[in-house]
Amino acid sequence: MKAVLCKEFGGPETLVVEEVSDLSAGKGQVRIDVKACAVNFPDALMIQNMYQFKPPLPFSPGGEVAGVVSELGEGVSGINIGDRVIGSCGWGGMAEQVVVDAPRIIPIPDEMPFDEAAAFIMTYGTSHHALKDRANIQPGESLLVLGAAGGVGLAAVELGKAMGAKVIAAASSEEKVQVAKDRGAESGFVYPMQPLDRDQQKALSSQIKELTDGQGADVVYDPVGGDYCEPALRATNWEGRFLIVGFPAGIAKVPMNLALLKGCQIIGVFWGAFTAREPERNKANIAELMDLYKAGKIKPYVSSTYSFDQAGAGIQELMDRKAKGKVVITVSD
Ligand SMILES: NC(=O)c1ccc[n+]([C@@H]2O[C@H](COP(=O)([O-])OP(=O)(O)OC[C@H]3O[C@@H](n4cnc5c(N)ncnc54)[C@H](OP(=O)(O)O)[C@@H]3O)[C@@H](O)[C@H]2O)c1
């Protein structure tokens, strides 16, 4: 089979496509013939050896795929060869075959195309867990989403709306804010590129307060970090919840007294660990997400697709901050 390989740590331009041995499903595993593989920010970090999970070299990036089951390992039941599925593999997805532990396989509805399926579970899984389990968001509450046109950001916009929140989208361009408004944000604004000076940070806080009747946001969803984090925390409502999701703009250091002054909670979100520690709750969450998809309330926005040979360019699009919604690698027809 063919695979995109990271043979040495570096940027997307260092990835190569090579012929490698076919895979076989071991005990409790399932082999998927991959049709599509989504690009996520962790792929960019992993190939640079900057992510918390560090697969040994050489490896294929790609943490989630959609495809067709082609082999069942010993002891696997409830899944059949030929089933259309999503597989959460962590890495290894940008290849014609991937082997996944059976509990990390999700059957998909017939009407769900492979590109949307590949782009579905990490973003919606993360944002659903964040808003429901971690923030306990309530109908009518205001939800500020930073990086609102990114992968997890746009999923938070759609899910926030589906959960009855008033969604405010913040992003680095008008085009990105519009993408979020088209998918359910009630209002939105453009923030500047980093670095933000003191005045720009104050302006960011003021914009959030203006859009929340001077109160600040009840829930802040922050998958961006960097200079955007502190102004958003300063514009969090009394007893608000500030969700820490990711740091493409850098890991912010914030004055802890802000949490005291607002009586608010600063909450870590780690969806991957949640799925491993609480598989039954995760299963129920996935069932809810599939129902929302079938009801047309959520739908992955696949804004660009790349062929297998161009996988590095797909990862580069995220690193260049150009991606809107999801970028997907088409592995086979
Ligand atoms: N906690 C969890 O369980 C969990 C799960 C999945 C992903 N994540 C993390 O969430 C973050 C977002 O992941 P994603 O897959 O949604 O990525 P993405 O699609 O690339 O979205 C990230 C957004 O961050 C903003 N951004 C700000 N500075 C940036 C920079 N220097 N480079 C790139 N983007 C920048 C961009 O929006 P603007 O241009 O509008 O600012 C971009 O749309 C990553 O850090 C990822 O590791 C966490």
Q: Is 325 in the pocket of ligand 1 (CB under 6 A)?
A: no
Q: Is 225 in the pocket of ligand 1 (CB under 6 A)?
A: no
pTM of the model: 0.97
Q: Judge whether 242 and 264 are in contact, CB under 8 Å.
A: yes
Q: Using the mean position of ligand 1's atoms as its centre, give its distance from the Cα of residue 17 in Å.
A: 26
Q: Is 314 in the pocket of ligand 1 (CB under 6 A)?
A: no
Q: Is 42 in the pocket of ligand 1 (CB under 6 A)?
A: yes
Q: Using the mean position of ligand 1's atoms as its centre, give its distance from the Cα of residue 72 in Å.
A: 35
The burial of 252, by beta-carbon neighbours within 10 Å (0-12 exposed, 13-18 middle, 19 or more buried), is given as middle
- Tell me: the pLDDT tens digits for 208-235? 999 999 999 999 999 999 999 999 999 9
The CATH topology of domain 2-120+302-330 is: Quinone Oxidoreductase; Chain A, domain 1 (3.90.180)
Q: Is 155 in the pocket of ligand 1 (CB under 6 A)?
A: no
For residue 333, the model assigns a pLDDT of 82
Q: Which atom of ligand 1 is nearest to the CA of 245?
A: 1
pLDDT tens over the chain, length 333 residues = 999 999 999 999 999 999 999 999 999 999 999 999 999 999 999 999 999 899 999 999 999 999 999 999 999 999 999 999 999 999 999 999 999 999 999 999 999 999 999 999 999 999 999 999 999 999 999 999 999 999 999 999 999 999 999 999 999 999 999 999 999 999 999 999 999 999 999 999 999 999 999 999 999 999 999 999 999 999 999 999 999 999 999 999 999 999 999 999 999 999 999 999 999 999 999 999 999 999 999 999 999 999 999 999 999 999 999 999 999 999 998
40: which DSSP letter? -
Pocket test for ligand 1, best of 39, 40, 315 (most atoms within 8 A of CB): 40
Q: Which residues contact 197 (CB under 8 A, 6 or more apart)?
A: none
Confirm whether 2-120+302-330 and 122-272 share one CATH topology: yes
Residue 36 bridge partners (DSSP):
66, 330
Q: How far is Cα 302 from Cα 319, in angstroms, rounded to an integer?
A: 17
Q: Where are the domains of the chain?
A: 2-120+302-330, 122-272
Q: Is 223 in the pocket of ligand 1 (CB under 6 A)?
A: yes
- Tell me: the pLDDT tens digits for 238-289? 999 999 999 999 999 999 999 999 999 999 999 999 999 999 999 999 999 9
Q: What share of the chain is helix, strand, coil (3-state, %, to 5)?
A: 35, 25, 40
- Strands laid side by side in the 217-222 sheet: 187-190, 166-171, 142-145, 217-222, 236-244, 265-268
- The correct answer on CATH 3.90.180.10 for the domain covering 122-272 is yes
Q: Is 248 in the pocket of ligand 1 (CB under 6 A)?
A: yes
Q: Is 145 in the pocket of ligand 1 (CB under 6 A)?
A: no
Residue nearest atom 22 in ligand 1 by C-alpha distance: 150
